[in-house]
Chains A and B, each alone.
Chain A
Amino acid sequence: MKKLLTGFLLGILLTLGSSGVLAQSGGELHFCLRSEPKTLNPLLAADDASETIRYLTGGVLVRVNRLTQELEPGLATSWKLTNGGKTITFELRGGVRFSDGTPFSADDVAYTMQQLMDPALHSPTGDAFRASEGKVETEVLPKNRVRITFPAPIAGLDRLFDQVAIMSAKSPQKEMAVLGPYYVGENKAGSYLILKRNPNYWEKDPAGRQLPYIESVRLDIQQNRDIEMLRLTRGEIHFINSVDADSFDKIAAQDPSMAHDAGASLDSEEMWFNQVANSPLPPYKKAWFTSTNFRRAISEAINREDIARIVFRGHARPAFGPVSPANKFWFNAKLQAHPYDQKSALQRLAQDGFHFQDGTLRDHDGHAVEFSVITNAGNKARERMATMIQQDLSGIGIKLNVVTLDFPSLIERITHTFDYEACLLGMVNDELDPDAQMTVWLSSADSHQWNPSQKTPATAWEAEIDKLMRAQASTLDPKKRKEDFDKVQEIAWQQEPFIYLVNKNALSAVSPALHNAHPVVLRPQVYWNIDQLSLSSEVARNH
């Protein structure tokens, strides 16, 4: 009975603790930014540091819950899509004030939309809303409601508002007046920023206590990752949002409770062949790279399990296709992992007339199969992957030359001169919605890396992808969109214009002094629930 009672009390304590009832208020949270934020205007944020400030200070109408990946109310208590997806109507929360005390109203939403869509501002956040030409109209309605009408339907429109920090139309402090949990209290250029608790933040915990719990956040600008690690182990900072596999294992060896592996992230590492028709490559190499059998053979000859195990020390998963399994809704679960099978690879190559001769693979004209793969210099993981692929391909008689280039030279080759054969790079994905991948999959897009900016699709399967991507973007029915994008993933799996290698895990390091931290795969991994985080009583008292 005594044990039962103790267990019951412990259960209550844990529940209260996780809901924040017992969370310690106060203290200063410390972490590092890798660079200085380029802007404090939330509508202009494009770099990681600026986006961090936007996330911590900006109040948004709706928020994507980074844990469930579902939309949650923010400054809007409800919202409704009408007019075939062209119009969205928000019902706004009442009694909310900006950090400087200015009341929040529908006028502020209208002002923010006007700023966001102003072509002169060149807002990167606004680009996502510019699906077609035409004016965006915002109407302020009675009963604290606002209606925004776009010239054409925008797929996943409501989720885009997760990125739009509402600005004050009337505050003399302009963008420094915010609706998020913190406001910028001090900005020492190149050194640090101090964010202070917004006394007017609208959200409260279940016990009715004002959020956020932590009094202030100090963001030190620190480019050197080794120093950042050292500072974490010394207890000078409370977390590192994203660490590489090597650092993660070192942290885990020192204190396993600090190391958090949230599983496969949305980011992927991939390689692709140059299929640009007018590239300066010899015709026989163009023929190799445009052959589906050749690309699939290369894919089958690569041991992805070994790459995940050795290069990423087990903190990565072999990739299936353009969408990571971490993207719960959009991932096509029917896709199978690409097999590692060198015999099958040689059979595929034989179908295209390739043959093995004296340990070297040769095409039907007798050319020895040799090509180079470029990657960015200084990225150890990519260099290691390329070296492993080099050994894997030597198993089927292919000679691969690994070339590391400084980043500007690499970009010049893959976007302007097209003087390369294969490239190994990574793709950073922040967005769950496939609309964010339109610029990659449309054959006319600049980022259609293997053959960009095509006037008409070069292949039937690219034409099919174009059709499916446009179809999923023009309907609001999530089921239909999913069906279309599933087909895109299937085509990408069959054709392999990108040979997806691995999805890296989302790794982070969190001090035991930071409570309620539940790192997730979506950015920002550790502080996505910043208003719920708290510091241990000792740390909070010392501050």
Chain B
Amino acid sequence: MNWARTAAIVFLLVVSAACLLANFIAPAPYAHQFRDEPDAAPSRQHLLGTDDLGRDRFSRVLYGTRVSLLLAPAAALLSSLLAAFIGGIAGFAGGRVERCVMAGTDLFLSLPWLFLLITVRALLPLNVSPIVSVLITFAMLGCLGWAGAARIICADARSLSRSDFILLARASGSNGFRLFWRHLVPNLKPVLYAQFWISVPVFILTEANLGILGLGVAEPLPSWGSLLRELEGFSTISGQAWQLVPLVLFILVVSSFHLVLTKEELAI
């Protein structure tokens, strides 16, 4: 499977580069409405046609991919760090601390997160720019998405804390924060790494779900969520295959994130 992993990494790098260079590649501003050409078919001016408001779809795909591809890993990093901190401490401390923290984690997992996101978003201030809104959306995803990973990290930390090298470190006089930071955390890295890569597509999907509900990134900033909303209603697709490009790109990127992980990491 090495060739697939390599291909996935190359694909992700190409897509990332294209997004980062969107300002130079995009033929039109993502928000500009060409009102005389709504729903236009692909042409030399508009490579992927225009959306229902006449905005250049290719430009929107580039900028939308940039938004989702930059911010989903950021949210994944935030949730992985929170999971490492909460799960690591619980697993390392064990006993009552672990039971209390894990009970809290279970409670968090049982919350209907989609409704929670909708509620939290409704409480936020209204007058924020689209950029701030997208940052808030992904920050919320990062802050709310740690619980599942925390359980896995807690189990790993518990197992590690009973291992021989930790016993040896304890016997050598190492304890408390030093034991946690110098001996336990480095050994949690593989599982943290796996959790990070798994979280990235999950957050992309979550933002897409919020977008489909109309609660994702604020207009006119594009994201994969808002791009996928164009496909609402299966009958819209017929005869306009170019509308499927964001979906194909989305599937390829999410699949590539999974292929980036090695067998060992996936086994974790």
Partner-contacting stretch, out of A39-47, A371-379, A462-470? A371-379
B24 within 8 A of A: no
* Interchain CB contact under 8 A, B127 and A391: no
Partner-contacting stretch, out of A48-56, A403-411, A499-507? A403-411
Contact residue among B33, B126, B214, B219 (Cβ-Cβ distance under 8 Å from A420): B126
A384 to B35, CA, bound (A): 12
Residues from 87 to 138 in B contacting A, C-beta threshold 8 Å? 118-119, 121-122, 126-130
* Interchain CB contact under 8 A, B128 and A401: yes
Residues from 409 to 463 in A contacting B, C-beta threshold 8 Å? 409, 419-421
Known: A310-B53, A404-B215. A390 touches B220 (CB 8 A): yes
A380 within 8 A of B: yes
A371 to B128, CA, bound (A): 9
Question: A378-404, CB under 8 A of B: which get 1 and which 0?
Answer: 111001101110110000000101111
Known: A384-B53, A387-B219, A404-B215. A246 touches B127 (CB 8 A): no
Known: A377-B213, A404-B215. A372 touches B126 (CB 8 A): yes
Residues of chain A within 8 A (CB-CB) of B119 are 409
* Interchain CB contact under 8 A, B218 and A378: no
Residues of chain B within 8 A (CB-CB) of A409 are 118-119, 122
In whole Å, how far is B112's beta carbon from the nearest beta carbon of chain A?
13
* Interchain CB contact under 8 A, B214 and A391: no
Residues of chain B within 8 A (CB-CB) of A403 are 126, 218
Contact residue among B35, B215, B233 (Cβ-Cβ distance under 8 Å from A377): B215
Residues of chain A within 8 A (CB-CB) of B215 are 377, 404-406
Known: A386-B219, A409-B122. A401 touches B127 (CB 8 A): yes
Closest B residue by C-beta to A379? B214
B232 within 8 A of A: yes
A229 within 8 A of B: yes
In whole Å, how far is A44's beta carbon from the nearest beta carbon of chain B?
31
Residues of chain B within 8 A (CB-CB) of A370 are 127
7 nearest CB pairs, A to B: A377-B214, A409-B122, A372-B126, A387-B219, A378-B214, A402-B219, A404-B214
Known: A246-B233, A374-B126, A403-B126. A388 touches B33 (CB 8 A): yes
Residues from 495 to 530 in A contacting B, C-beta threshold 8 Å? none
* Interchain CB contact under 8 A, B232 and A229: no
Question: A226-242, CB under 8 A of B: which get 1 and which 0?
Answer: 10011000000000000
A250 within 8 A of B: yes
In whole Å, how far is A82's beta carbon from the nearest beta carbon of chain B?
53
* Interchain CB contact under 8 A, A402 and B218: yes
In whole Å, how far is A252's beta carbon from the nearest beta carbon of chain B?
13
* Interchain CB contact under 8 A, B35 and A310: yes
* Interchain CB contact under 8 A, B220 and A372: no
Residue with the highest number of chain B CB atoms closer than 10 Å, among A225, A371, A383: A383
B31 within 8 A of A: yes
* Residue contacts A-B, CB under 8 angstroms, 11 given: A225-B233, A246-B233, A310-B38, A310-B54, A372-B126, A377-B215, A383-B214, A402-B219, A404-B218, A405-B121, A406-B122
In whole Å, how far is B137's beta carbon from the nearest beta carbon of chain A?
12
Closest A residue by C-beta to B210? A377
Interface residues of A (CB under 8 A from B): 225-226, 229-230, 246-247, 250, 306, 310-311, 370-372, 374, 377-380, 383-384, 386-388, 390-391, 399, 401-406, 409, 419-421
Residues of chain A within 8 A (CB-CB) of B229 are 380
Residues of chain A within 8 A (CB-CB) of B220 are 387, 390-391, 402
* Interchain CB contact under 8 A, B129 and A401: yes
Closest A residue by C-beta to B51? A384
In whole Å, how far is B133's beta carbon from the nearest beta carbon of chain A?
8
In whole Å, how far is A79's beta carbon from the nearest beta carbon of chain B?
47
A388 to B122, CA, bound (A): 23
Closest A residue by C-beta to B122? A409
A379 to B214, CA, bound (A): 8
A420 to B52, CA, bound (A): 28
Residue with the highest number of chain B CB atoms closer than 10 Å, among A226, A403, A419: A403
Contact residue among A226, A247, A391 (Cβ-Cβ distance under 8 Å from B31): A391
Residues of chain B within 8 A (CB-CB) of A247 are 233
In whole Å, how far is B165's beta carbon from the nearest beta carbon of chain A?
51
Residues of chain A within 8 A (CB-CB) of B6 are none
**Could you list 20 further interchain pairs (A-B, Cβ under 8 angstroms) beyond the known A247-B233, A379-B214, A388-B33?**
A226-B234, A229-B235, A246-B236, A310-B35, A310-B38, A310-B53, A311-B52, A372-B126, A372-B127, A377-B214, A380-B214, A380-B229, A386-B219, A387-B53, A387-B219, A399-B129, A401-B129, A403-B218, A404-B215, A406-B122
Residues of chain A within 8 A (CB-CB) of B127 are 370-372, 401, 421
In whole Å, how far is B114's beta carbon from the nearest beta carbon of chain A?
11
* Interchain CB contact under 8 A, B213 and A378: yes
Known: A310-B53, A384-B52, A388-B33. A401 touches B232 (CB 8 A): no
* Interchain CB contact under 8 A, A405 and B234: no
Question: B21-58, CB under 8 A of A: which get 1 and which 0?
Answer: 00000000001110100100000000000001110000
In whole Å, how far is B90's beta carbon from the nearest beta carbon of chain A?
34
A247 to B236, CA, bound (A): 9
Known: A404-B214, A420-B126. A383 touches B219 (CB 8 A): yes
In whole Å, how far is B249's beta carbon from the nearest beta carbon of chain A?
22
In whole Å, how far is A407's beta carbon from the nearest beta carbon of chain B?
10
Residues of chain B within 8 A (CB-CB) of A401 are 126-130, 218
A384 to B226, CA, bound (A): 12
Residues of chain A within 8 A (CB-CB) of B219 are 383, 386-387, 390, 402
Closest A residue by C-beta to B212? A378
In whole Å, how far is A244's beta carbon from the nearest beta carbon of chain B?
10
Residues of chain B within 8 A (CB-CB) of A379 are 214
In whole Å, how far is A248's beta carbon from the nearest beta carbon of chain B?
12
A378 to B211, CA, bound (A): 9
Residues of chain B within 8 A (CB-CB) of A421 are 126-127
A74 to B154, CA, bound (A): 75
Residues of chain A within 8 A (CB-CB) of B38 are 310
A229 to B235, CA, bound (A): 9
In whole Å, how far is B215's beta carbon from the nearest beta carbon of chain A?
5
* Interchain CB contact under 8 A, A226 and B235: yes
In whole Å, how far is A502's beta carbon from the nearest beta carbon of chain B?
15
Contact residue among A250, A387, A388 (Cβ-Cβ distance under 8 Å from B235): A250
In whole Å, how far is A283's beta carbon from the nearest beta carbon of chain B?
16
A226 to B121, CA, bound (A): 29
* Interchain CB contact under 8 A, B33 and A391: yes
Residues of chain B within 8 A (CB-CB) of A226 are 233-235
A509 to B129, CA, bound (A): 41
In whole Å, how far is A308's beta carbon from the nearest beta carbon of chain B?
12
Residues of chain B within 8 A (CB-CB) of A380 are 214, 229, 232
A388 to B214, CA, bound (A): 16
In whole Å, how far is A11's beta carbon from the nearest beta carbon of chain B?
40
In whole Å, how far is B69's beta carbon from the nearest beta carbon of chain A?
23
